[in-house]
Amino acid sequence: MRLILASASPRRAEVLRDANIAFESLPVSIDETRWHNEAPAHLVRRLAKAKAAAVADRVSGAAIVLGADTEVIVDGDVLGKPAAVLDAREMLRRLSGRTHEVITGLELIRLPDRTTRSEQEISRVTFAPLSDAEIDTYVASGEPFDKAGGYAIQGRAGRFVTRVEGCYFNVVGLPLSRLYRTLRELGWSPD
């Protein structure tokens, strides 16, 4: 049974490749705008479901379609992908010296019967206090700009992280252990 990732995310693809999980990637474009007063848990579930459904409608044969969405939450605010240098700096200032949550919603659709599973993973990440110079150097690297919360734990920002509670891979963007168990429940086999 094929696994189809409803994403062009290089980080999710890398997690799957490193775990030796064969997959195909079918990127999909959906409106990822957060609804007014939408809870972060609802947001990630809604977006993961929309991504998976959009790809499932384009696929035939036996397959499992995987949609995922990851968000960074601090003080109840969702920190999406920074749009500009000032956004990235502000996000990193908010994360500096504090603990925040990273939440990922997963939606899996098994085809052709369209059996679905919705999952969610939450990790807590603590940053060391960051100086303005550290923030400016990190932002100048360009790494923050296509990442929720403006950082990549598996990249240069890993040096700022003092603690991770929960799944490390969730912080990268794909909670691997939860995904693997759910795939097995749906009848997928790594062989």
> At residue 150, what is the residue type?
G
Query: Helix, strand or coil for residue 16?
Result: helix
Burial 57-82 (b: 16+ CB within 10 A, else e): eebeeebbbbbbbbbbbbeeebbbbb
Assess whether 69 carries a catalytic annotation: yes
List of residues 6+ apart from 33 with CB closer than 8 A: none
> At residue 120, what is the residue type?
Q
- Among residues 18, 31, 57, 69, the one annotated as catalytic is 69
Q: Give the alpha-carbon dihedral of 143, 146, 148, 151, to 10 degrees.
A: 0
Nearest CA among 101, 110, 119 for reference residue 175: 119
How many residues does the structure list for the chain? 191
Nearest CA among 108, 81, 84, 133 for reference residue 1: 108
Q: What is the largest CA-CA distance in the chain?
A: 54
Write out the catalytic residue numbers.
69
